[in-house]
Amino acid sequence: MSVIIVSGHGDFSLGLLDAFEMVFGTDEKIKAIPFKKGEGIPQLQEKYHEQLRLFPEEEILFLVDIYGGTPYNAASQLIFGQENCDVVTGVNLPMLLETAAQKDQALVELTKVAKTAGESSAKVFSEEISKITHTDLEDDEL
């Protein structure tokens, strides 16, 4: 079973964890690590390292906000060369919910779940309505 560490700029990760808990409830293996103004990679890595020490035998998946941002850079530098850790960017609530629901999978599979959930969660209202309307029109023609 994997531990999921969510991080991002400001209090983004704390808000995301709060929203997650409204839907999913509390999960001791889902952690939020904020990146605060005035902090740099060393301070954030120390926060990450504190969590890694709590779960020495677990696989760790970092879900961060922006590729190339400080939360990503701090995590990727910290875990470089470790097979039991990975980082996925673009975290959002659907990604976190789906990933948490399947955190018993192997890390390599869990990263695929996170990526797919993140990619498929973006929807445009007008496009979705168009699909429904188009399908309804086709059904009427039958």
Q: Which of 37, 34, 35, 95 is nearest to 61 (CA)?
A: 95
* Contact criterion met (CB below 8 Å) for 8 and 62: no
Instruction: Please say whether the beta carbons of 41 and 70 come within 8 A.
Output: yes
Question: Residue 67 in contact with residue 90, Cβ under 8 Å?
Answer: yes
The single residue of 3, 4, 6, 9 carrying the catalytic annotation is: 9
Q: What is the 3-state secondary structure (H, E, C) of 96-118?
A: HHHHHHCCCCCHHHHHHHHHHHH
pLDDT of 140 reads: 59
Q: Is 9 a catalytic residue?
A: yes
Chain segment 14-42, per-residue pLDDT in tens = 999 999 999 999 999 999 999 999 999 99
> What is the arithmetic mean of pLDDT over 77-82?
93
Top-confidence residue, 122 or 64: 64
Query: Does the structure show a pLDDT above 80 at 135?
Result: no
Number of structural domains the chain divides into? 1
Query: Structural domain of residue 17, as residue ranges?
Result: 2-141
- Which pLDDT does position 131 carry in this prediction? 85
pLDDT at 117 over 70: yes
For residue 71, what is the domain's CATH number? 3.40.50.510
How much is the mean pLDDT over the chain? 93
pTM for the predicted model, two decimal places: 0.89
Per-residue pLDDT band for 141 (boundaries 50, 70, 90) equals low
